[in-house]
Chain A
Amino acid sequence: MNRRNTLLAILAVVLAAGLLIIPNRGEKKEIKPEQLLTAINDQARFLSTDAITERIIGGDPTLQLIDVRPAKQFNTYALPNAVNIPLDSILSPSWTQLLHQPGKDKVFYSNGDIEADAAWQVCTRNGVSKVFVMKGGLNHWYNTIIKGIEPSNTASGNDLDLYSFRQSARQYFTGSAEQGADQPAQAESTQKPARVKVERKPVEKSSGGGC
């Protein structure tokens, strides 16, 4: 090696040795406990099932649903386009990129609120921004959107509008406006098409006249 390369090699070793002296910092960007407490007291992290449903139906590209239930439950049923990150693997480096996606609202949901809220707390503490929780979880989503309760005749206009929206949403998710219909719309397309019974016209034995 010539003199210039030798000098560059020495410089590289010196710089690398310098890394051993400087303190290791900046790898984790955790927020302070006071900030976390303020964030926990702020209820703005909860998004209603209706708001989420509207964004799912509208195909909102900024919405990233994250299902924190175990994989088995996720495979049984999950909201459209949701990603499964079980709570115990929320800190796995595999998900760092997804959780730090810029411009995306990361919405956690579980069956209820507890696991989703725990995921929210861990991620908020870990410096992940734009994280939310679907209020009430999948159980509440099922009760409001899929099951739905018809409002009384004396209900306010807002309640009637909300019911109407939920009916449309129900149709979107299940293919049926019927309450409690829990078969997804896609299931219909997999059913065998009804066979059309072809009744052939009997062949006439004679031309029956004519030219």
Chain B
Amino acid sequence: MVAPLIPMGVIPESWNNVFAVILGFGFGFALESAGFSSSRKIIGTFFGYDFVVLKVFFTAAITAMIGLLYLSYIGWLDYSLLYIHPTFLASAIIGGIVMGIGFSMGGYCPGTSFCGMAIGKIDAMIFMVGMVIGVFIFSEAFPLFEKLYNSGNLGGKLVSDSLGVSKSLFAFLLTVVAIGMFYGATWVEKKVRKVEY
């Protein structure tokens, strides 16, 4: 992690875990500040009364995307050193469906359940128990899933490359779409009956 400072040797590799802990605290703090430790707030996205999840994650994505492109332009960041997680198409689609069902049923994703647990939410603790059981079953039955797990490897794909447009144009279009979605979500929130929590 902490690319490109560690791959370029600016920071020794042994600091990786230290940064992981620091970034983990930061991430947890940001989630808690955004109210993501409440399953009712998260589930609001599915019922249309609270779109804060959509707004926070899209804001994070467009901020990071624009920041990376500017840092690359001024030469502070080498884009080629960034790790792009490979796309496993089949497993990503199936995993996405499973995760989506779990998300809407439990009201948490793995990260937010830790946040909820940290402030003593009982539903988050139960969610975590379920998650551990799921991890155990998946690990034990991995030979059954292995073929699916590794299928459809497209490598480190970028949406901009797949669409055949430049990164800058894609960043601009996504920003416009995200801002449009924010306004649309706010409009829906006003129309849907408020839920007190």
Interface contact B80-A9, CB-CB below 8 Å: no
Interface contact B66-A26, CB-CB below 8 Å: no
Interface contact A102-B62, CB-CB below 8 Å: no
User: Which residues 8-53 in A have Cβ within 8 Å of B in the complex?
Assistant: 9, 12-13, 15-17, 19-20, 22-29
Contacts of B175 in A (CB 8 A): 12-13, 15-16
Task: For residue B178, give the distance in angstroms from its CB to the closest CB of chain A.
Answer: 8
Closest to B175 in A: A16
Interface size on B, as a range, is 35 or more
Interface contact B171-A103, CB-CB below 8 Å: no
Interface SS of chain B = helix
- Given the known interface contacts A26-B78, A27-B72, A94-B153, the answer about A16 and B7 at a Cβ–Cβ threshold of 8 Å is no
Partner of A22, one of B62, B168, B178: B168
Task: For residue B6, give the distance in angstroms from its CB to the closest CB of chain A.
Answer: 7
Q: CB of A100 within 8 A of chain B?
A: yes
Partner of A16, one of B8, B77, B176: B176
Q: CB of A96 within 8 A of chain B?
A: yes
Interface contact B172-A16, CB-CB below 8 Å: yes
Q: CB of B183 within 8 A of chain A?
A: yes
List residues of B whose CB falls within 8 A of some A CB.
Answer: 6-9, 13, 62-63, 66, 69-70, 72-73, 75, 77-81, 83-84, 86, 153, 155-157, 166-169, 171-172, 174-176, 178-179, 182-183, 186
Other CB < 8 Å A-B pairs besides A12-B179, A93-B155, A102-B7, 8 of them?
A12-B175, A13-B179, A19-B66, A23-B73, A27-B167, A92-B155, A94-B86, A127-B80
